[in-house]
Amino acid sequence: MANAGTLKVCVAGAGAIGCTVAARLAMAGASVNVLARGAALKAITANGITLSDIEGEHRVPVRASSQAGEFGVQDIIFVCTKAQSLARILLDLQPIIGPDTVVVPMVNGVPWWYFHGVGGRFDGRTVQALDSSGELAKMAPLEHVVGCVVFITSEVIAPGVVKSSTPHLLIFGEPNNTYSARLEQIKTVFEASGIEARVTDQIRDPLWAKMIANLTSNPLSVVARATLQDIYTDTGLKRIAIKILHEGLTVAAAYGARIQYDPHTFMELAAGMGAVRTSMLQDYDKGITLELAAIGDAFMELADLMDIAMPVTRDIVSMARFLGQQREMEVVNA
C-alpha cells in the first residue's frame, strides 16, 4: 500500500457517515473520491461537503462521481451504505478494486463476513439474512476486507450537508483477528482528520458492543419515535431497552465476546449521547427501507444458531418492520 500522503481513497456513499468521513479525510489532506448519486452528487459537485460537528462548520471540496471507474484503482475503499444496498454498491466498485485494494465496510449491524477467518464450527458460514447467495463474499473476498466498527452519530440535513454533535471514533480490525501493516496504515490516514482511529486484534468484541447498541436503540426508536435520550432515560422505554440489552448480551456471551461495559454503564453511556435520532428513525421519516436485516434479523439468526430465544427483541423488530413498511407505502402514495 502507498504511503499515507499518496493513498487513493474512495468513500462509497454520500449519506451521513460517508460525508462525515469524506470531509474529515479531505480536511486532513487525503485525496478523496466520493461515489455518490442523485441530489447528493449534484450538491457535492457544486458545493463540496458541508459538515457541522463539535469543532465547528466546515465546507470541504471533494471529487465526486456516480461512476466509480472514473477514479481508477483505489488503495482503500470505505463503503458507507445501508446493508440492503451492499450488493449494488459492491458491484459498482468492482472496476476500482485492485489486487491490493482494502475494502472497509462501514455498515450497521452484523457484517456479512462475521463467520469468515476465525475457524470453529461456523467458519465460512453465510449469514443468510445478509448474503444468502454468497455474492457479497464473492465481490469483496476476505483478503480485501478490513472490519470497522463505527461510533459516529450524524444526520443528513440536506444533500451534501451533515450535522454531528458527538466525538468521532472508528475501530478497525482484521476479520482473522491478527495485527497487520494495513491496519496501521489505515490508522495513519486518520491521524490528522479529527476522527479517532483505533486498531484491535479482536474486532468482534467492539463489534458486538455496537451491534447491541444498534439492537437496543434502532428498532425501538421507530416504534416509539424516540431519540437515544428518550430510549435510555424514559422509564417505560428504558425497561424495554434493558430487556433487549440482556438478550443481546446473552448471545454475545455465547460467541465468546468480551463486552467492555457492564449493563448499567452501557445504559448510562447510551443515555449520555443526548437527543440523537437513530439512523433507522431518520430512514423511517424519509420512507426508506429500514436496516432491519442487518441490525435485527441477522442478530436473531446468530441467536438461533445457539438456541437462544430473543422474545422481546423479536417483537420490537416485528413492530418496527410493520411501521417501516407502512411508512414506505405512505411516501410512495404521497
- Residues 10/68, Cβ–Cβ less than 8 Å: yes
33, 40, 37: which is closest to 16 by C-alpha?
Answer: 40
| Sign of the dihedral through C-alpha 22, 27, 30, 34 | positive
Find the helix or strand (DSSP H, E) in which 73 lies: none
Which DSSP symbol is given to 95?
Answer: G
**CB atoms near residue 124 (< 10 Å):** 13
Is residue 241 within 8 Å of 312, Cβ to Cβ? no
43: nearest Cα among 24, 29, 73, 22:
22
32 grid coordinates: 478523496
From the list 210, 238, 243, 286, the catalytic residue is: 210
In the residue annotation, 210 being an active-site residue is answered as yes
- In this structure, what C-alpha cell is assigned to residue 266? 452501557
User: Quick one: which of 120, 70, 65 has its CA closest to 95?
Assistant: 70
Answer whether 19's CB lies under 8 Å from 58's CB: no
Residue type, 139: M
Name the H helices within the chain: 16-27, 38-47, 86-93, 128-131, 135-139, 181-189, 204-224, 228-233, 235-254, 263-271, 279-286, 292, 298-305, 311-333
d(CA 203, CA 200): 6
Closest to 218 measured CA to CA, from 306, 131, 294, 139: 294
Catalytically active residues are 210
